[in-house]
Amino acid sequence: MWSELLVDYEGMNNSLFAASAADLTIERIRALAARLDQVESLTLEYKSEYSASLVTTIAAMANTYGGMILVGINDRVEPGVERVVGVDGQATIDQIVSGCSTMLDPPWEPTFFNVPFGDGSGRSVVVVRVDANVAPRPVLVKLKAPIRLSGRNATADRARLLQLAREEPSATVLPMGQNVMSPNLDRDGEGKATADFILRTGINLPMGEAAAWRPLSEKTVAALAQALNDSAFPSALYNLGNGAIDYTTGFRQLGHNRARKARLVWQATGRPTENKHLVEAVVSVELPEIYGAAAAPAAASVTIDIIARVCQYAEGRGNAGWTHRYAVPDLAALFDGLLKTAVDPKVVAEIARIADIDTALVAQPRELHLVADRQVKELLYSGGLQEIPDAGASAGGIFRSNPALNLRSDTDRQEQVDDWLRQLGLDAGLTGMESVVEGHRAAAARTTT
- In terms of Cα–Cα distance, which of 340, 373, 380 is closest to 237? 340
Identity (one letter) of the amino acid at 119?
Answer: D
Distance CA 29, CA 86 (A): 11
Domain 3-166 bears CATH identifier 3.30.950.30: yes
pLDDT at 295: 42
pLDDT the model gives residue 157: 87
Q: Using alpha carbons only, what angle is made at residue 26 by residues 21 and 27, rounded to the nearest 5 degrees?
A: 115
Instruction: Please tell me the distance from the alpha carbon of residue 354 to that of residue 52, in angstroms, as a whole number.
Output: 36
Which pLDDT score, from 0 to 100, does residue 377 have? 93
Rg (CA), the chain: 24
Q: Are 69 and 113 in contact (CB under 8 A)?
A: no
Taking only the tens place, the pLDDT of each residue in 249-267 is 999 999 999 999 999 999 9
Residue 127 CB neighbours (<10 A): 22
Is the sign of the CA dihedral 135, 205, 356, 342 positive or negative?
positive
Residue 327 near residue 381, CB atoms below 8 Å: yes
Whether the pLDDT of residue 84 is over 90: the answer is: yes
In angstroms, the CA 166 to CA 123 distance is 43
The mean pLDDT of the chain is: 85
Q: Buried b vs exposed e over 208-227: b needs ≥16 C-beta within 10 Å?
A: beebbeeebeeebbbbbbeb
Q: Which of 160-169, 294-303, 405-414 is predicted least confidently?
A: 294-303
- What confidence score (pLDDT) does residue 276 get? 77
Q: Which is more confidently placed, 274 or 426?
A: 426
Q: Compare 271 and 313 and report the one with higher pLDDT.
A: 313
Q: Identify whether the C-beta of residue 155 lies closer than 8 Å to the C-beta of residue 145.
A: yes
Q: Read off the amino acid at residue 377.
A: K
Q: How far apart are CA 397 and CA 417, in angstroms?
A: 15
Question: Which run of H or of E encompasses 198?
Answer: strand 197-205
Local structure of residue 12 (DSSP, 8 states): G
pLDDT digits (tens, 9 = 90+) for 188-227: 888 899 999 999 999 988 777 777 788 899 999 999 999 9
pLDDT digits (tens, 9 = 90+) for 380-402: 998 999 999 988 878 889 999 88
CA nearest 31: which of 130, 120, 115? 115
pLDDT of 3 reads 33
Tell me: pLDDT of 109 over 90. yes
Query: How far does Cα 222 stand from its chain's mean position?
Result: 22
Half-sphere exposure in the Cβ direction for 355 (13 Å, CA): 29
Model-level pTM?
0.73
Domain boundaries, the chain: 3-166, 197-448
Work out the pLDDT band at 319, boundaries 50, 70, 90. Answer: low
Phi, psi angle pair for 105, to nearest 5°:
-130, 110
Question: Pick the residue with more confidence: 204 or 169?
Answer: 204
d(CA 164, CA 59): 12
Question: pLDDT-derived band of residue 28, with 50, 70 and 90 as boundaries?
Answer: confident
